[in-house]
């Protein structure tokens, strides 16, 4: 629908409900696509490298990490793609992302070697890194309820990860084969969601309002883009410290979020791992729901500090529980608490980015945030790769996972101004030197 025509034609009464439904469906797909490769990591490492090449498990995991690292370099172009939402709109990127996630999972299902599987993973990483569905939440929500609604969507979306152990149970055999089948059904569901978005999704009203005047649009186009946004961030005190904090936090990301299934597989059987993974989504959902209410009540900064401590404590508890062979509910709940709390910290940082950036460059600023996130993650990945040469996986994720999380959350608490209650349409394009 042409932008000005949509502006003149009011949305049907049912549209807000359809928008929420689409956002939740896409977030379900996003959470599934984000987590699925991690939750079958030990299975494909065993097939491609242990049985396929005769390597030890740690050596196979290191090889998989190296090849994935080489592929992740392609994701550098992701932020430039994300910045297009400031020029062509939120809707087209939303629709393309949905199709891309579905195609990436289809490729993983089809892959008969690790290189093709890694290509599918790369597509999934590329199209899940943008969280376009959440830009709609930012721009459509009342300011006082923005965090509550955002994390309510996250709460509903996290149940996408519950489908992973269900499909593991249905398809993965005791010898670890059959794992590819966890990719094909969600890929078909993703195709259906893509068609629904194509037929019913409207452009964000906040974006349309910012594009009504052609003269203003030309000026805003000059400001948008990755390079102008990068310059803006580092001449703006608030965004600069948020940038530093997310880089530091993400030096923990790969260790905390990518190896937990492999760590569990070193202590538990395939069936026991699957049992533990059943409990993870419920704990994550509870943590997400708490985050929405808490950050709207006490602010983004304090909530981020609370969840950083919860993530660190849950992470340490998870490592100990798995090592001691604790019951699946205990291990799964601790896993969900620490993973959910860690993502809460990064999500609250992202929300503060969005609430500190003017509408005309909000997409570009969020694109730069993806670069910063990738920079921190690259450090985490490099450390994990190096340490896996001589340390077991449990030690590696413990050593790499905790420091950046605590330091980054402390920087946010001490250096960043609170953004709770910000009117996104009123954020001015100004610099705050310092």
Residue 4 has, within 13 A of its CA and on its CB side, a CA count of 3
The answer to whether residues 30 and 100 touch, using CB atoms and an 8 Å cutoff, is: no
Residues 143-175 have pLDDT tens digits of 777 777 777 877 887 778 888 888 988 898 888
| 8 A C-beta contact, residue 191 and residue 343 | no
Q: Which of 153, 112, 103, 104 is nearest to 131 (CA)?
A: 153
Coil/strand/helix, residue 12: coil
Kindly report, residue by residue over 172-230, the tens digit of the pLDDT. 888 888 899 999 989 999 999 999 989 888 887 777 776 665 555 555 555 667 888 88
* Residue 46: DSSP 8-state: I
- As a whole number of Å, the CA-based R_g of the chain is 21
CATH superfamily of 13-426: MFS general substrate transporter like domains (1.20.1250.20)
DSSP string, 265-288: HTTS-HHHHHHHHHHHHHHHHHHH
Q: What residues contact residue 98 under an 8 Å CB cut-off, 6+ apart?
A: 26, 29, 127, 190, 193, 194, 197
Helix (H, G, I), strand (E, B) or coil at 236: strand
d(CA 295, CA 292): 6
Find out whether 191 and 102 touch, Cβ atoms under 8 Å. Answer: yes
Question: Which two tokens mark 113?
Answer: 């070697």
* Mean of per-residue pLDDT scores for the chain: 84
Q: Taking phi first (over 0 means left), then psi (-120 to 50 degrees means alpha), and beta for anything else, what does residue 391 get?
A: beta
pLDDT (0 to 100) of residue 168: 87
- CB–CB of 267/322 below 8 Å? yes
Contact 340, 283 (CB under 8 A): yes
CA pair distance 359, 398, nearest whole angstrom = 39
Those residues of the chain that have pLDDT short of 50 are: 1-2, 4-5, 8, 433-434
Q: For residue 167, which of 159, 154, 179 has the smallest C-alpha distance?
A: 179
| 259 in Cβ contact with 387 (< 8 Å) | no
Tell me the pLDDT tens digit for each residue of 308-337. Answer: 999 999 999 999 998 888 888 999 999 999
Cα 338 to Cα 314: distance, rounded to the nearest angstrom = 5
Nearest CA among 226, 245, 237, 210 for reference residue 431: 237
Closest CA to 372 of 257, 249, 231: 249
Instruction: Indicate the domain borders of the chain.
Output: 13-426
Q: What is residue 138's predicted lDDT score, i.e. its pLDDT?
A: 73
């Amino acid at each position: 629908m042409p932008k000005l025509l949509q502006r003149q034609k009011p949305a049907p009464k049912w549209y807000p409900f359809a928008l929420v439904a689409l956002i939740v469906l896409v977030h379900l797909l996003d959470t599934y696509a984000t987590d699925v490769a991690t939750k079958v990591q030990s299975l494909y490492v065993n097939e491609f490298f242990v049985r396929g090449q005769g390597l030890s498990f740690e050596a196979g995991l290191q090889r998989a990490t190296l090849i994935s690292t080489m592929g992740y370099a392609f994701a550098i172009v992701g932020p430039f793609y994300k910045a297009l939402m400031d020029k062509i709109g939120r809707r087209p990127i939303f629709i393309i992302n949905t199709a891309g996630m579905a195609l990436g999972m289809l490729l993983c299902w089809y892959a008969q070697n690790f290189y093709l599987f890694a290509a599918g993973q790369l597509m999934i990483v590329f199209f899940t890194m943008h969280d376009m569905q959440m830009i709609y939440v930012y721009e459509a929500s009342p300011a006082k309820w923005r965090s509550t609604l955002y994390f309510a969507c996250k709460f509903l979306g996290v149940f996408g990860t519950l489908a992973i152990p269900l499909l593991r149970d249905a398809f993965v055999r005791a010898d670890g084969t059959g794992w590819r089948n966890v990719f094909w059904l969600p890929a078909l569901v993703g195709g259906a969601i893509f068609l629904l978005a194509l037929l019913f999704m409207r452009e964000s009203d906040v974006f349309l309002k910012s594009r009504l005047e052609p003269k203003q649009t030309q000026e805003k186009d000059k400001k948008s883009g990755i390079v102008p946004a990068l310059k803006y961030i580092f001449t703006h005190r608030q965004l600069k410290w948020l940038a530093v904090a997310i880089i530091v936090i993400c030096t923990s990301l790969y260790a905390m979020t990518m190896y937990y299934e492999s760590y569990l597989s070193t202590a538990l059987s395939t069936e026991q791992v699957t049992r533990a993974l059943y409990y993870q989504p419920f704990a994550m959902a509870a943590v997400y729901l708490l985050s929405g209410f808490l950050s709207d009540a006490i602010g983004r900064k304090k909530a981020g500090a609370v969840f950083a401590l919860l993530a660190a404590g849950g992470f340490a508890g998870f490592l100990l529980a798995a090592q001691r062979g604790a019951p699946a509910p205990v291990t799964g709940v601790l896993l969900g608490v620490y993973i959910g709390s860690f993502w809460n910290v990064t999500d609250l940082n992202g929300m503060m980015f969005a609430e500190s950036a003017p509408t005309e460059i909000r997409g570009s600023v969020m694109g730069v945030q993806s670069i910063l996130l990738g920079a921190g993650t690259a450090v985490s990945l490099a450390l994990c790769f190096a340490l896996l040469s001589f340390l077991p996986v449990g030690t590696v994720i413990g050593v790499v996972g905790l420091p950046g999380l605590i330091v980054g959350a402390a920087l946010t608490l001490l250096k960043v101004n609170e953004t709770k209650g910000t009117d996104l349409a009123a954020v001015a394009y100004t610099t705050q030197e310092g």
